[in-house]
Structure 1
Amino acid sequence: MKIYNIYENINFDKDKEIEELIFENEKIKILRTTSLNQVTDYYDQEELEIVKIVQGSAILEIEGKEIKLKKGDILPISPHQVHRVIYQDHVVWLCIFVKN
């Protein structure tokens, strides 16, 4: 069993988000993602995604609606809810994907 500390070894890249796999099996995938100010492409995912802002702030666009998130906020994104990140400021995300 490996212990992963979400607050340790945080790195940012000015050119891209950094995704780190924390855990994965046939039912769930957990990532830590760090982002400075990147705007993402649109996502249309098969699985439920639950995001938590560990640090920083962000604005997501989900099916045309803007949702502001700050440290501590948790947001479930249903399968096939088209979404993207339109603003980020030194964000550390905890992303949990529940596979179908």
Structure 2
Amino acid sequence: MRFTRPLFAVLGTCALATAALPAAAAPAPAPAKGDVIVFQMEYMPVTVYENPSGCKLLPAGSHVLINRTDKVVTIYFDPACKFPIIPVSQLAPGNGTHVSPIGSFSI
């Protein structure tokens, strides 16, 4: 039992030293190549997102989103990319879908 206390002291010191190491930052995802096109209403110009990355707020009144990028687009009900549309939140390249008029998407 005499070795228990020093062993815990060494383990505790190692744990603290490991926790103090800077966390390795995950590499940022590369932007998609291509466009995401959003249709809002007839007789209005479409909104085009060129080489998008991260979370993007859809324009008010959005109706249809077309993924013309090389990556999967995730569609969300909310403007902050928190609540994906289930079960079809993943939109493959070359496909389109109806979207929430106050939603968002991410690459």
Normalized per residue, the structure richer in strand is: 1
Of structures 1 and 2, the larger Rg is shown by 2
Structure 2 length-normalised TM: 0.41
TM-score scaled by length of structure 1:
0.43
Structure whose residues are more often helix by fraction: 2
Higher-RCO chain (CA-CA 8 Å, sequence separation at least 6): 1
